[in-house]
Amino acid sequence: MSQLSNIFAENQFCVLVEYLTSLKELFPVVTEFAGFPALMTLADRVHSDDDVAPLVAAQQFPAEVDKVLHYAGKGRDIAEFKQFLQQAQTAGQHNLLLLTGDKLKHHESGEHGARTRYLESVNAVMAAKQHGGFCIGVAFNPFKYTEAEIDAQYLKLHKKVKAGADFIITQLGYDIAALKQLQRFLKRHSYAQKLLACVMPLTLARANFMLKQQVAGIVITPRMVEVLEQEKSLGLTERVYERCALQILIYQHLGFAGVHLSACHKPEEQQLLQSYIERYRHLDLADCEQMWHDLWEDQSDEVFRPNVNTYSKKVSLGQIVKYQQLHLMHDAVFNSKLGLGLGHMIFNQGFWNKKPAAKALLKTELLSKHSVVGCDNCGQCRLADTLYICPETCPKGLANGPCGGTTLDRCEFGDRECIHSVKVRLAKAVEQTDVLKDQLIDAVPIEVRGSSSWRNWYLKDDH
């Protein structure tokens, strides 16, 4: 059992200190932080697409220090992840934080060559659980502010738990009310996964950087920036660490398992933050929260929330009718005894193995489906599990639900509405939300892509 697993078993509050593998300088690793047990986490390709892999970077640090390795699925396949699991186990690494990951800096849309694929976290958790021997963490973003966006995140969290997650780390954020809502959700569903909140000392420079770079899924409001600008002009920059200390203490009071501390790897920053934790450790929850609001010059949580023009959107009649028609057709052609038998008879013919026939079949399938649902010849059709909204129309190709990078229903890529928000609205309208909550959709292996999903469907029992 890893040190992290032992800490969780003993219900100790812990601090996971994040280190970027792109850093040229190796900073000292702490095993205790303000009296709390501390471990190190190694981020995966945050600075660039070519950062040193966490598994490799871990070798530069003392072996006796327990580590949490981040693994982002961006640009990766399920086979590659299974190979990583074996390598991690061989290296004695047992703690994983499995993420889909934000958009690759050099993402390829497929217009001029191969399309970039993303292994989603649900599939990674399933594989890690099946492999065994790991303490598995997942990310969750509670800082969403439209109905569909919120619902989509929580439906996917159900899947992450079902897949086998042991602990949950939230996205970086400052809306504590949203974190309390997450706690209530876990309690309501009797989920025992350990919950940690991501925190970071938010300086004005960091806030401006995240806004300029449009860092996916992080909410920094104009009012927050105003407060930070005013403090800097008055020389009150240490309030950044006061706030972070209060955040940590609030989460301890609320019963969180710990925090994931980002952008605080330098010893002088850590010492300053620890000094404020010690200063305010005697305060109870109410006093910590009052000081937190005082420092933000706002007694509500509105300072942390974006302006929302439309909280709920309606599903069109056309979307509902399209779903109903496709559902009926799918059941008749692909699920009925007659359809399965006829399809097996047709596609079991040997001539389909010949290149001209296979090519013609693939083109026919693409022509018949692309204009209707956005098919991209994945070879493993998942439409019945996604309410006939094709996962290939998500730039990351996610089938089990959204990533954490949406903003008010807009995709992280900025060119469309998130298909998972559209899907959730439809699911509620046709009373099919359980499908989005319970159905774990397998990853599509690279070798399957570019083959006929029709033929693969009808012959699946032959393999």
CATH number of 173's domain: 3.20.20.220
Average pLDDT, the chain: 94
Q: Are residues 292 and 348 in the same domain?
A: no
Give pLDDT tens digits for 239-280. 999 999 999 999 999 999 999 999 998 999 999 999 999 999
Give backbone dihedrals phi and psi of 98, rounded to 5 degrees, phi first: -100, 120
Q: In the listed set 269, 304, 339, which residue is the last one of a domain according to the structure?
A: 304
Mean pLDDT of the 154-172 span: 98
Q: Which token pair is 419? A: 């298909």
Residue 118 is predicted with a pLDDT of 94
pLDDT at residue 462 greater than cutoff 80? no
Sequence letter at residue 108: E
Q: Are residues 290 and 353 in the same domain?
A: no
- The answer to the question of residue 310 being in a domain is no
Residue 107 is predicted with a pLDDT of 87
Q: Are residues 383 and 332 in the same domain?
A: yes
Is 0.75 topped by the overall pTM?
A: yes
Give pLDDT tens digits for 290-336. 999 999 998 888 999 999 988 999 999 999 999 999 999 999 999 99
Q: Are residues 120 and 97 in the same domain?
A: yes
Residue 463 is predicted with a pLDDT of 62
Give which of 424, 372, 336 is closest to 156, Cα–Cα. 424
pLDDT at residue 443 greater than cutoff 90? yes
Say which range, 46-50, 117-121, 232-236, has the weakest mean pLDDT. Answer: 46-50
Percentage of the residues of the chain whose pLDDT score is greater than 90:
82
Residue 377 is predicted with a pLDDT of 86
pLDDT at residue 351 greater than cutoff 80? yes
More confident residue, 390 or 25: 390
CA distance 452 to 98: 30
Mean pLDDT of the 371-379 span: 87
Q: Are residues 192 and 322 in the same domain?
A: no
Q: Are residues 245 and 273 in the same domain?
A: yes
Residue 393 is predicted with a pLDDT of 93
Q: In the listed set 304, 337, 354, which residue is the last one of a domain according to the structure?
A: 304
Q: In the listed set 304, 333, 362, which residue is the last one of a domain according to the structure?
A: 304
User: Contact 39/66 with Cβ under 8 angstroms?
Assistant: yes
Q: Are residues 82 and 166 in the same domain?
A: yes
Q: Are residues 324 and 295 in the same domain?
A: no
Give pLDDT tens digits for 52-93. 999 999 999 888 889 999 999 999 999 999 999 999 999 999
Place of tokens 């399957």: 448
Number of other residues whose CB lies within 10 A of the CB of residue 347: 17
Mean pLDDT of the 386-402 span: 95
Is the four-CA dihedral 311, 314, 319, 324 of positive or negative sign?
positive
Number of domains, the chain: 2
- The answer to the question of residue 73 being in a domain is yes
Q: Are residues 160 and 47 in the same domain?
A: yes
Residue 115 is predicted with a pLDDT of 85
Give pLDDT tens digits for 188-246. 999 999 999 999 999 999 999 999 999 999 999 999 999 999 999 999 999 999 999 99
Q: Which domain holds residue 114?
A: 3-304
pLDDT at residue 51 greater than cutoff 70? yes
Give pLDDT tens digits for 124-140. 999 999 999 999 999 99
Q: Which token pair is 273? A: 């933050």
Residue 457 pLDDT level (bands cut at 50, 70, 90): very high
Is the four-CA dihedral 76, 82, 83, 88 of positive or negative sign?
positive
Q: Are residues 300 and 340 in the same domain?
A: no
Q: Are residues 329 and 284 in the same domain?
A: no
